[in-house]
Amino acid sequence: MRILHVTNSFLPTIGGVERLIDNVTKELEKQGHEVMIMSPEDDPSLSLYGGHIAFWNSLYVKQKNKTALGLLWNHTKVTEQVKEVVKNFKPDVVHFHSRHFALVSRAIRKTVKTVFTMHTTYFLHKKKKMWRKFLLNSFDVLFAHTKDYFETASEFEHKNLMYLANGIDLDKFHPSKRSEKWRFEQGFTDDDFVLLFVGRMVEYKVAKIPNILMELSKTHPLVKCVFVGDGPLRGWLEYETKVQKVDDKVVFTGFVPFYDLPKIYASCDMLIHTAQWGEVFGFVILEALASGLPVVATDFGAPSEMIEDWMNGLLFPLDTDFKGYAKNIGEMADSEVYDAMRDHARETSLRYSIEKHVRDFLWKIHIVEGEKK
């Protein structure tokens, strides 16, 4: 089978969508399929990706974290570019990764099957329902990554809406990647219990963490925290940890190369994920579980599908205050079942292999009625 991915963001940006496309492409090729990726033009680093890249015209928005989001600026021209790649590559499926390609899909769907994966929370909102329904019905097949999102999107009455869990490379993210050397370099001892935050530092993800650390320091002075990533609230986090007098218990790494993440996950002891808004899937949670880390998360959206309370992590209601988090994190750190929770975390991740994701993807697009030849 030939598959064309069309995306408004790809490497060297490192986010969930980019990681998924990269992993899926490699697995599809391993299974003998042909893959092409159309991404915003034209980042020199993509030459390292081989001959699998085609470009569509874009306007780059440079951000402080040196990522770039491709924005459609000439819809007609982009449509013609996609048509040209379809003509030459002759894909069986065109897989779109942004709703902004809805009209492009409408322009080509008479000649090729089009698929759209809902990577953002856009379709969880209730406003402009008719417009959202129009966008979704621009594609032949829709994929939702969580059962919660699948149920919400069912309101749009698309006949080929399907649930498809994401997947990761379970060999790359593994407890065996643990590095005592890395822990030592960060200033941690063998006795420290290290929490890990990975992601963009924005209010709905990090606002509670300084107070949680402050409360934990009263009863569990060996609890530390690593912040991996960056974002608009990094300065606030650094300031607030000083205000709460826990700045000696935190490490800020900034952005790290993707190849370093498996080592960092496996070298910590628990992932803290206190997002106050639903995750469409949550690669960070899955990567942590695969690395043998119990996960502390909000009982909402993707975490509630992967986390079993006191089995592979802790789930908290949205309105839980920092004292509630601290109390239970402390109890888990002291618990005799902690090691068993680490084992169960890894076992949970085995349901989300990239091999299974690709296998389910191929099977589900084949069973769609009226498959286009």
Print burial letters for 42-67: b (CB count within 10 Å at least 16), e (below 16).
Answer: ebeebeebeeebbbbebeeeeeebeb
For residue 373, is it within any domain?
no
Is residue 7 domain-shared with residue 61, that is, in the same domain?
Answer: yes
187: left (phi > 0), else alpha (psi -120 to 50), else beta?
A: left
Instruction: Tell me the pTM.
Output: 0.88
Q: Tokens 């880390």 — which residue?
A: 293
Is residue 200 domain-shared with residue 313, that is, in the same domain?
Answer: yes
Residue 42's pLDDT band (cuts 50, 70, 90): low
Is residue 38 domain-shared with residue 118, that is, in the same domain?
Answer: yes
Is residue 302 domain-shared with residue 243, that is, in the same domain?
Answer: yes
Give the model confidence (pLDDT) of 295-339 as tens digits: 999 888 788 889 999 999 999 998 889 999 999 999 999 989 999
CATH number at residue 248: 3.40.50.2000
Residue of 59, 143, 62, 55 whose CA lies nearest to 99? 143
Residue of 332, 308, 313 whose CA lies nearest to 271? 313
CA angle (120 as vertex; 116, 121 as ends), nearest 5 = 120
Whether 249 and 225 have beta carbons less than 8 Å apart is answered as: yes
Q: Residue 136 contacts by C-beta under 8 Å, 6 or more apart in sequence?
A: 116, 123, 142, 153, 156, 158, 161
How high is the pLDDT of residue 77?
A: 82
Whether 197 and 213 have beta carbons less than 8 Å apart is answered as: no
Give residue 145's domain range. Answer: 2-167+353-366
Distance, CA of 77 to CA of 73 (rounded, Å): 9
Q: For residue 103, give both structure tokens.
A: 């009209």
Residue 62's pLDDT band (cuts 50, 70, 90): very low
Whether 280 and 147 have beta carbons less than 8 Å apart is answered as: no
Give the model confidence (pLDDT) of 70-91 as tens digits: 445 567 888 998 999 999 999 9
Q: Is the pLDDT reported for residue 50 higher than 60?
A: no
For residue 284, is it within any domain?
yes
SS3 92: coil
